[in-house]
Structure 1
Amino acid sequence: MKAYVTIPLIALGLLAADQRSLNAQGRGRGNQIPTIRQLAWVDGSGNVLGTIGPRMNSVLDPSISPDGSRVAVRGRQNPGDVDHLWILEGMSANRITT
């Protein structure tokens, strides 16, 4: 199983962790920048199996916990916010920096 960052317009990068990998995947249209991002679990064929955490304005540098139940990210919830570190679990996001 692979985990992908679902981004509507641009790609950001790739991170592998054990048997899972996190990949930023998107489809570009000119220089438009997407405003909403969501982490999604997908299978090897690219079919979305589920999502993790809420939709956010920015999701960067994802890292999966060793047990696969949580993802740490750097990001922001709203345009104009500063980046914070977040722990995503289920559909919730807990900010761990102030």
Structure 2
Amino acid sequence: MNNIRTIALYLPQFHPIPKNDGWWGKGFTEWTNVAKAKPLFPGHYQPRIPADLGFYDLRISETRKAQADLAKQYGISAFCYWHYWFGNGQQIIERQLKEVRQNSPLICH
């Protein structure tokens, strides 16, 4: 049982992309949804505003490095990156994974 590792799902949509601008309005990111969240029941604490790293932009490699360092500090072994594939082979929000793969010091060990 000592080989159990915690892997965090990584949604890299916390920066503007042209597709979201077209679909949801200019400048839309997941931060838009985070900031406008409302409590749905008594005791439901919303919105949950980010603490340590603030409203970060995932296009910035130093931000991703800070995330990796924080994850390692709390026992996260790896990130599972989410991205979208469309029928014509087009990818969206793949930039972060490509950059991390090119810059191995960002990978948690």
| TM-score w.r.t. length of structure 1 | 0.25
Work out which of the two has the higher radius of gyration on C-alpha atoms and give 1 or 2. Answer: 2
- Give the TM-score of the pair, scaled to structure 2: 0.23
Q: As a proportion of its length, which structure holds more helix? A: 2
Bigger relative contact order, structure 1 or 2, given CA contacts below 8 A and separation 6+? 2
